[in-house]
A and B are shown apart, each in its own frame.
Chain A
Amino acid sequence: MKRISLFVLALLLIVLSACGSGNDKGDNEGEATNDDGGNGGTIALLMADLGNPFFHVLSDAVEEQGKELGYEVLVYDGQNDASKQPSQVEDALQQGVDAIIINPADESSTANALKDAIAQDIPVVTVDREVDIEGILSYLVTDNTKGGELVGKWLEEKMPEGGKVIHMEGIIGTAPQRERGGGFLSVIDPAQNSDSKFTILDTAVGEFSMAPAEAAMSDMLSKHDDIDVVFAQNDTMAVGVVRAIETAGREDDGILVLGFDGAKEAYDLIDEGKMAATAVQDFEFIGAEAVNYVDTYLKDGTKPEEEVLVDVFMSDEK
């Protein structure tokens, strides 16, 4: 038995390594990778969680712009586990990459690993979330607070007479949860804005994912029969909210569902008239811009702004 499992293990490793080098060839297209900066260099892209389909927009944008400017892009997936990313940074450094673009899983886990990169004068750009260290080339992020405010203002315009609101929050304590919620409440919550004609009926937690949001929303539907609006802090939760309304057979209540991100599922639901609008994060811009920063720095040492806040825009296009 032992011998068989050793054999299987060896076989597996051989097959996997063959797969790996096959991929490399595909990406390189036969080009030499071993030069310092400029065209033909390598960028490591470390994504926190490619399990969330929306983040593929960001990684695709980086890969596309990288190809455009002649870089090979190595993509790492942190699988939503903050403890995985530090070793992925180390792997990338081992590979001798020329630049790192990272979408960190949290503010601190990768700090030490990234310090090594900075010490080797490898430019580091963080996207969508900050890492708390000195020497980062740039930090590109959606202005979540402003985005939350924008949702609030859009709602005020849409329902000037006001209404009763359920606030579906993401993972408590994360930056997008605090900022999106904070921005939204600063406009809609009468406790913070005395001009608001809205009332916050209830706050529920959907953990930025579909199943918990669906369950929490079905509880809200049990509890309240006068809901006018649900603001979900991301689109995945908004999809769960819409599904809960359908399951409860309450489509005729005319509940306005608002999301955040600009994910494909949200556009589909807006098309079908089941969702009102979503606040779109411009991930295509953020991804491409991150590559541009790296490119200019490697070419002539020009540094971009240290922190770049990117605006969101509302979309209710059908």
Chain B
Amino acid sequence: MKKIGSLYDKYGTIVVLLVLVLIVTSINPKFMTMYNILNVFRQVSINGLIAFGMTFVILTAGIDLSVGAILGLTGMILGLMITSGTPDFIAIVAVLLMGALLGLFNGVLISKIKLQAFIVTLATMTAFRGITMIISDGIPAMNVTSNAPILDFFSQGSVLGIPFPMILFIASFLILLVLLQNTSFGRGVYAIGGNEEVARLSSIPTDRIKTMVYVISGFMSSLAGVILTSRLSSSQPTAGMTFELDAIAAVVIGGTSLLGGRGRLFGTFIGVLIIGVLNNGLNIIGVSAFYQQFIKGVVILLAVILDRKNSQ
């Protein structure tokens, strides 16, 4: 019995995902076409990258509300740089660095000045969005990819028939998985989330690790911003609003505890797919907009309740 319980604990979210896929497919088999599966992966990649970074933050018992604003700001700068003639490769590298720097700013405030992550990232979320509005004057940059083949590749490109955003999604997952499971940094992340004081006393560099998780989160958000800008061929000053909520939802559905110390990146991977399959599947079945929101809310609740039951 205990064994079944622990199996369920490990694979519970996968069961939710499979049941969802089965229901949607049985109502409209078009869901299972290769075309649509690639479509789903292309769509989830943005939330996925943000949610991976968010997983690291939440594992340390932190939270990063500024991810959507970082996506918006770096995406806007990317669009403005390219439309004013900067080569796209340079612009992309610049905004990725910038995403990491914005994360570093969050991380230093939280780890060195000991401010609460919720408050710091709530403030920077507002400030970063404000900067986005100031530099763009509230006006989107249009036709960003028309002379930017590298940026265009980020959403339109594919390798051996696999869309590039999907490759980025899976590659980041694998790299971050190794970082979290097989390095002392990863063990430190779990240790801090478990008990920060104990971690500090065991001579784990807690401040540095806590700063680093926000750097990762900022970097992943700006990478998601590059994909979104490429997808829309446009930088919207409002891009990324409420994205933090989808990312947090994916992390929590995936079984990571908001209290930190417990959870897995693979869970987030499945959580992201559950949200993606819900969004896409409800459209494919043709559920009306009113019911869509309700169903999404119920599924998130169910997934979390299942997970809570298993962990008790």
User: Do A and B interact?
Assistant: yes
Q: Are A56 and B138 in contact (CB under 8 A)?
A: yes
User: What does DSSP make chain A's interface, helix, strand, loop or mixed?
Assistant: helix
Given A56-B138, A209-B238, A268-B143, A202-B33 contact (CB < 8 Å): no
Report which of A50, A169, A211 forms a contact with B289, defined as CB distance below 8 A: A169
When distances are taken between beta carbons in the complex, the residues of chain A under 8 Å from B35 are 222
A243/B283 contact (C-beta < 8 A), A211-B228, A218-B43 known: no
Not counting A203-B288, A215-B43, A240-B232, a sample of 7 additional A-B residue pairs whose C-beta atoms are within 8 angstroms of each other reads A53-B140, A205-B289, A211-B232, A211-B236, A223-B286, A247-B231, A268-B142
Q: With an 8 A cutoff between CB atoms, is B4 at the interface?
A: no
Chain A residues with CB under 8 Å of B43's CB are 215, 218
List A contacts of B234 (CB < 8 A). 210, 239, 243
Q: What's the Cα separation between A248 and B42 when bound, in Å?
A: 11
A204 contacts chain B at the CB level, 8 A cutoff: yes
B contact residues around A215 at 8 Å (CB): 43, 279
A219 is an interface residue with CB less than 8 A from chain B: yes
Interface 0/1 of A214-229, CB less than 8 Å to B: 1110111111000000
Q: B195-236, CB under 8 A of A: which get 1 and which 0?
A: 000000000000000000000000000000000100111101
B232 touching A51, Cβ below 8 Å: no
CB atoms of B283 and A210 under 8 A apart = no
Q: Footprint of B on A, CB under 8 Å?
A: 1, 50-53, 56, 77, 79-80, 169, 172, 202-205, 209-211, 214-216, 218-223, 239-240, 243, 246-248, 265, 268
Interface pair B30/A223, CB less than 8 Å apart = yes
Query: Which residues of chain B are within 8 angstroms of A218 by Cβ–Cβ distance?
Result: 39, 42-43
Shortest Cβ distance from residue B31 to the other chain A in the assembled complex, whole angstroms: 8
Q: Is the CB of B283 within 8 A of A51?
A: no
B139 at interface, CB cutoff 8 A: yes
Do B138 and A53 touch (CB < 8 A)? yes
Q: How many residues of B contact A (CB 8 A)?
A: 35
Specify which chain B residues have a CB less than 8 angstroms from the CB of A246 in the assembled complex: 156
Measured between alpha carbons, how far is A211 from B230 in the docked complex, in Å?
Answer: 11
Query: Smallest distance from the beta carbon of A163 to chain B beta carbons, Å?
Result: 19
Identify which of A52, A80, A219 contacts B284 (C-beta below 8 A): A219
**Is the Cβ of B236 less than 8 Å from the Cβ of A210?**
yes
| In the A-B complex, the 4 residue pairs with the closest CB atoms | A219-B283, A222-B36, A205-B289, A50-B138
Whole-angstrom CA separation of A214 from B156 in the bound complex: 13
CA distance A215 to B283 in the complex (A): 10
Query: What is the chain B residue whose CB lies nearest that of A202?
Result: B286
Find A243's partner among B140, B233, B237 (CB 8 Å cutoff): B233
Q: Cβ of B28 < 8 Å from any Cβ of A?
A: yes
Distance between Cα atoms of A103 and B142 in the complex (Å): 25
The chain A residue sitting closest to B43, CB to CB, is A215
Contacting A at CB under 8 A, from B34-57, are 35-36, 39, 42-43
From B39, B113, B237, B288, give the contact of A219 (CB < 8 A).
Answer: B39
Residues in B with CB closer than 8 Å to A52 are: 138
- Distance (whole angstroms) from the CB of B161 to the closest CB of chain A: 12
B294 beta carbon closer than 8 Å to chain A: no
Contact in complex: A216, B283 (CB < 8 Å): yes
